[in-house]
Amino acid sequence: MDQAGSAQDAQSLSVCYRHPDRETGIRCARCNRPICPECMISASVGFQCPECVRGASGTGSAPAASRPRTIAGGAVTADPRLVTKVLIGLNLAVFLVQLAVGDRFTDRFELIGQAYVPLLGSVQGIAHGQEYRLLTAMFLHAGFIHIAFNMLSLWWIGGPLEAALGRARYIALYVVSGLAGSALSYLLAAPNQPSLGASGAIFGLFGATAVLLRRLNYDMRPVIALLVINLIFTFSWSGIAWQAHIGGLVAGIVCGYAMVHAPRRNRTLIQYGTCALILAVVLVLTLLRTAQLT
């Protein structure tokens, strides 16, 4: 019994053969080497490591249906963090524009329901036909600490998630979570209360990561602890749009579940159908709030 228990413990403490700093309980179905979510490639049975997939492709016998796929069915790419890098670059570029142009730029694109904006000299907001603010507010930040914290979080949690989902599904998750956060903030916050930042989308990534870790039977304690800390900050610090965080988190959990638990048959339909359903909820919430304010 002691030897069996020791063997099980050793297996649970295996580390990815390509990333020795990452513990994993998943092994390649061909060579039995331990692989992390960034390295695992969905196969007809289980998961395979990149070397085994390349070896099969090199023989010319692998059918088109068994091309490398992520756990969510996305295409495996040479740079699994490309979208995350682009998102960080886009956020930084917009922040530089904010610094260069000033508050007039921020006032024109931040999330606000309905309010008179002195710098623009008129009543502004989503209720006045500026629905684009639901999206543009996701790329604005209130200062150096704000953007630094968000971009570090995006890099730390977004990169591995992008590798596990694939680019298209990762983009869908990010945008849907961010819009859900914006919509809930628009619905519940005071109409003249501005909000901005990528936090809603990032909380969506947190939620999807928790779902993914549970799907892979990984230790969820680190991500749960980090999420709890962020939620404590959300509700204890003034000036934080908790509505955007909660909206993004809920949307991320729902989308993440659809991404990693959808059956192989009709998987794409279920995944993107769930995203479309959440967008429909965003639309309904937006129309409802606009009707209240006008």
Q: Which of 66, 90, 122 corresponds to the end of one domain? A: 66
Examine the domain organization and report whether 89 and 159 are in the same domain.
yes
Selecting among 146, 199, 236, 261, the annotated active-site residue is: 199
Classify residue 154 by its DSSP letter: I
pLDDT at 212 (0 to 100):
93
Number of structural domains, the chain?
Answer: 2
Q: Which of 10, 41, 66 corresponds to the end of one domain? A: 66
Examine the domain organization and report whether 166 and 224 are in the same domain.
yes
Residue 42 structural domain: 2-66
71 found inside a domain: no
Is 245 noted as a catalytic residue in this protein?
yes
Examine the domain organization and report whether 192 and 108 are in the same domain.
yes
Q: In terms of C-beta distances under 8 Å and separation of at least 24 residues, what long-range contacts does 214-219 make, across chains too?
A: 215/71, 215/260, 215/261, 216/24, 216/25, 216/26, 216/37, 216/71, 217/25, 218/23, 218/24, 218/25, 219/23
Pairing between strand 41-42 and 115-117? unpaired
Examine the domain organization and report whether 89 and 218 are in the same domain.
yes
Res. 175 pLDDT band, cuts 50 70 90:
very high
Examine the domain organization and report whether 205 and 88 are in the same domain.
yes
256 found inside a domain: yes
DSSP calls for 218-264: ---HHHHHHHHHHHHHHHHSTT--HHHHHHHHHHHHHHHHHHHHS-S
Average pLDDT score over the chain:
86
Is 199 noted as a catalytic residue in this protein?
yes
pLDDT at 3 (0 to 100):
42
List 27's β-bridge partners, or say none.
34
Q: Is the pLDDT of residue 65 over 60?
A: no
pLDDT tens for 77-115 read 888 899 999 999 999 999 999 999 999 999 999 999 999
pTM higher than the cut 0.95 = no
CATH number of the domain to which 141 belongs: 1.20.1540.10
